[in-house]
A and B are shown apart, each in its own frame.
Chain A
Amino acid sequence: MIALLLCCLIFLAGGLIYTQISAHRLRSITWEDLVARMQPLSARGLELIALDNLQPKANQAQLEPDHLWGLVGGTSGLQKMRSNADLLIALAAYVQRWNFEEGVIVTERMRHDALQLKRAIFKLRFEMLIRRHQIRTPFYIQQAASAYYLMTRRVLALYETSHAGLLPRLAEVL
């Protein structure tokens, strides 16, 4: 029993020290660090998919699955979107340092988008893993791209009003 208690103690100590270091890192991280970690994605391709999904027009079936897959950047594009989503949330949370209320609200909305994005990517990967009939694949790609697009729009809008000085650099990266 003492071994189990010691394991519990080690787990608690490890967890608390990890969260302590992580909190310190989060407090000391600079805006430049966050922006530098953003991975490049095809902004135009993602915008095309997202707008096709969010603002449907005539000829809605114009984007074929292969075309969608290419626009999103394939498997590596999905992985980049996933990791960039966390950075986008961190960028929105960064705004809380000088404009707390709007930073909190927009960050919260972006968490919702990130959840949709990650769910869509998870479903996509799952379908690819089990090699099931991939009829839903284009829908999941559109969901992921739309969620990511909304996140980028929100964070740009937030910076536009909160810290216009940082906006050009951010817009360039996104």
Chain B
Amino acid sequence: MKVSLFDDILWAASFAGNLTLFLVLVLRGRWRQYPVFTAWMGFYVVESIAAYAIYSYAPKIYATAYWSMFAIDFLLQIALVFEIARIVLAPTGTWVRDARARFFLWGSAGTLVAAGLTIAVHPLVRHSTDTWGIRAFLFTSLLFCELFLAMRLLAQKLGLVPRNYVMGLGTGLMIWALVSVGVDTAHSYFGVSHPTDFTILEYVRTSSFIFAVFYWIITFWATEPERKPLSPEMRNYLVALHAKVQYDSSQVSSVQNLR
């Protein structure tokens, strides 16, 4: 496989971006709130080095290593959606009413749709392995996008206001995920019959990810505005209010049950 200068530039930019973002997340202490996101960036740093080394010194096992790393990447992406869902939909540690059930319901429906569409596509390829490769990418892009959309629709419906980091992370992911689904849709139609177009589409996908990574570097470098701490008086008030609310609700329920 011939590697062009532009490939090298994109690889270098991607590696530099991933490494910088990983260092920002670790050194600024963001990894405590976003462990999966940090692990995902750390994985990309290690993957870049490992892929380069394997490609240079053990090309025979490159394909196996590539698909193994693809599987880990996919699992980390799904875990990232759940990490964001936990932060947005379970801000106090427990899930907002109805949020978990609805998130899993919509997520399951999205998985079925992604699986159905993936199996139904028949790209123009010479080898069946290429078909499965394209399908694997399409499935991961679709599933990530659908889960991410389900989480954001739910947050919007429940009126949950995202904070700076979640908002920044979501914006970057949205751009990259949409470009990925677009690229994989094009691949699933054109297959690998036009290598130049295939490569250009991959450049678009990589460029969008690099853009997102540099956007995240800026977002996570800045300090998020702090919320006011909870005073002891307020805590006592809350306990009393909560008890009163429970009492009111039980009264409503008991009146309803009498009828």
B245 touches A154 (CB 8 A): yes
Nearest CB on B from A41, distance (A): 19
Closest to A27 in B: B161
B145 touches A12 (CB 8 A): yes
B92 CB within 8 Å of chain A: yes
Of A3-11, A63-71, A74-82, A164-172, the one contacting chain B is A3-11
- Select which of B121, B153, B255 is within 8 A of A53 by beta carbon: B255
Name the interface residues of B105-121: CB closer than 8 Å to any CB of A: 113, 117, 120-121
Of B42-50, B171-179, B197-205, the one contacting chain A is B171-179
B226-250 contact mask (Cβ, 8 Å, vs A): 1 or 0: 0110100010011001100100110
Nearest CB on A from B164, distance (A): 9
A9 touches B248 (CB 8 A): no
Nearest CB on A from B118, distance (A): 10
- Select which of A2, A12, A23, A161 is within 8 A of B234 by beta carbon: A161
Interface centre among A19, A24, A89 (most CB of B within 10 A): A19
- Select which of B91, B174, B245 is within 8 A of A104 by beta carbon: B91
Query: Using Cβ atoms and an 8 Å threshold, which residues of chain B touch A6?
Result: 185
A2 touches B178 (CB 8 A): no
Contacts A8-B113, A102-B238, A112-B249 known; A16 to B178 CB distance under 8 Å? yes
Cα of A93 to Cα of B167 in the assembled complex, Å:
17
A83-127 contact mask (Cβ, 8 Å, vs B): 1 or 0: 000100110010011111110111111011001100000000000
Interface centre among B146, B228, B255 (most CB of A within 10 A): B255
B121 touches A20 (CB 8 A): no
Nearest CB on A from B137, distance (A): 13
Query: Using Cβ atoms and an 8 Å threshold, which residues of chain B touch A24?
Result: 167
A54 touches B181 (CB 8 A): no
B222 CB within 8 Å of chain A: no
Cα of A104 to Cα of B238 in the assembled complex, Å:
11
Contacts A20-B171, A56-B255 known; A15 to B158 CB distance under 8 Å? no
Query: Using Cβ atoms and an 8 Å threshold, which residues of chain A touch B248?
Result: 54, 150
- Select which of A8, A27, A89, A101 is within 8 A of B238 by beta carbon: A101
B122 touches A1 (CB 8 A): yes
B241 touches A5 (CB 8 A): no
A137 CB within 8 Å of chain B: no
A1-45 contact mask (Cβ, 8 Å, vs B): 1 or 0: 110111011001101110110111011000000000000000000
Count of residues in B whose CB is under 8 Å from the partner chain: 51
A54 touches B117 (CB 8 A): no
Contacts A8-B117, A98-B227, A102-B238 known; A16 to B145 CB distance under 8 Å? yes
Closest to B166 in A: A23
A19 touches B230 (CB 8 A): no
A108 touches B96 (CB 8 A): yes
Nearest CB on A from B190, distance (A): 10
- A residues with a Cβ closer than 8 A to B are 1-2, 4-6, 8-9, 12-13, 15-17, 19-20, 22-24, 26-27, 53-54, 56, 86, 89-90, 93, 96-102, 104-109, 111-112, 115-116, 139, 143, 146-147, 150, 154, 157-158, 161-162
- B residues with a Cβ closer than 8 A to A are 91-92, 96-98, 113, 117, 120-122, 142, 145-146, 148-149, 152-153, 155-156, 158-162, 167, 170-171, 174, 177-178, 181-182, 185, 188-189, 227-228, 230, 234, 237-238, 241-242, 245, 248-249, 251-252, 255-256, 259
11 new A-B contacts at CB < 8 Å, known A54-B248, A102-B238, A115-B97: A2-B189, A16-B178, A23-B161, A56-B255, A98-B227, A100-B91, A100-B228, A102-B237, A105-B242, A109-B242, A109-B249
29 A-B pairs in the complex with CB atoms less than 8 angstroms apart: A1-B120, A1-B121, A1-B122, A5-B188, A8-B181, A9-B185, A12-B178, A13-B178, A16-B145, A16-B149, A19-B149, A23-B155, A23-B167, A24-B167, A26-B156, A27-B161, A53-B255, A93-B159, A93-B161, A97-B227, A98-B227, A102-B234, A109-B249, A111-B96, A115-B97, A116-B252, A147-B252, A157-B241, A161-B237
